[in-house]
Amino acid sequence: MPVIEILGLEKTYATGLFRKQRKHALHAFTLEVYEGEVFGFLGPNGAGKTTTIKLLMGLVFPSAGSARILGLSIGDPRVHAYLGFLPEQPYFYDHLTARELLEYYAQLSGMEAKGRARRICEVLQRVGLDGSAETALRKFSKGMLQRVGLAQAILHNPRVLFLDEPMSGLDPLGRRELRLLIEELKAEGKTVFFSTHLLADAEALCDRVAVLHAGRLRGVGAVCDLIGDAGRVELVWRGRNPVAMRPLLLETHISGELVRGVVPEAAQEEAMKILRCASLPLVSLTPVRTSLEEYYLRQTQSEAPPQEVRA
């Protein structure tokens, strides 16, 4: 059963002086996210990622379509008890200390008074802020605020987490710690839906990703499918680059006596025959796999109709 079901969700804003013009922030799309998945929501700035998350959080209202989380409509206030949310570039009440802020959120989340203090200590430790619990948030750096944001998102042990650009503002160590935290949350059975620009993180963490561009869903699929076989092979051999080989090569790179050439998979046998005839020793032969970056660029730079890989 899907944990998040988006059914033809669409968002249009009225713009202009008399609000007569319509701007499509999000074109109707359908998407399902399953329990225990780490789902990456990718797309350039202005693609509609934050709008989607705001719609799911009930901060803005859909122009058409609907969505359900854990079987409850997004308009149902009960659903929020099971959700954790980290907004993009979070800002908190800066007159409070980290502990006071978490105490406030714990009360709003309806957490029992008994065990609240212990849970706050646990999450502060988990995000690496146990030494700054009594510091006013106005003295926190951007990275520390991001950590507080994560702490409040996981505080009430939610089943589904929405993280909007969670890596933003974190240094490399912080990013690594966040990746580990997301992996831990997945191991605990949580569903994590996060938006990011950082494709390496998405590739390392996500079970599935969706690519959004200009408010349209361009593709959805399992990362292993998207970064699959590219239909090309890479050959590395020692010596020169034979003339007969050149028409077959899609890419060539010569480094010292090593030649690296990429040929279409169909031309693999012919390329090897040329090397054998020229007595050039083959060092390696590797199938080329598409990176998530290539897939992302293909989806966001082309005007071709959206490609459905596997919903």
Partner 1 sequence: MTVLTIARSTFREAARDRVLYSPAVFAVLMTGAAILVGQVSIGIERQVVINLGLAAVTFFGVIVAILVGTGLVAKEIQKRTLYTVLSRPVERWQFVAGKFVGLAGTLAINGGLMGLGLLAALRYVSPGFSGADAWVLVAVYFILLQLLMVCGLALLFSTFSSPLLAGVFSFALFVLGNFAQELRDVAQSGAGWVHRLMVGATYLMPNFSAFNVAAGVAHGESIASLLILHNSIYAVTYTGMVLCAAVLAFEWRELQ
- Interface residues with partner 1 (CB under 8 A) are 13, 54, 57-61, 77-78, 80-81, 83-85, 87, 89-93, 95-96, 104-105, 107-110, 149, 152, 156, 162
Min separation Cβ 154 and partner 1, Å: 12
Min separation Cβ 43 and partner 1, Å: 18
H or E, element range at 217: strand 216-222
Nearer to partner 1, 43 or 84 (CB): 84
Handedness of CA 20, 26, 30, 36 (dihedral sign): negative
Residues 6+ apart with CB under 8 A from 27: 10, 215, 216, 217
Nearer to partner 1, 96 or 267 (CB): 96
Residue 49: CB atoms within 10 Å: 23
Min separation Cβ 32 and partner 1, Å: 21
- Three-class SS state of 264: strand
Nearer to partner 1, 103 or 183 (CB): 103
Q: Which of 123, 159, 176 is nearest to 3 (CA)?
A: 159
Q: Which of 30, 31, 12 is nearest to 22 (CA)?
A: 12
Nearer to partner 1, 109 or 291 (CB): 109
Min separation Cβ 181 and partner 1, Å: 18
Nearer to partner 1, 55 or 217 (CB): 55
Min separation Cβ 148 and partner 1, Å: 10
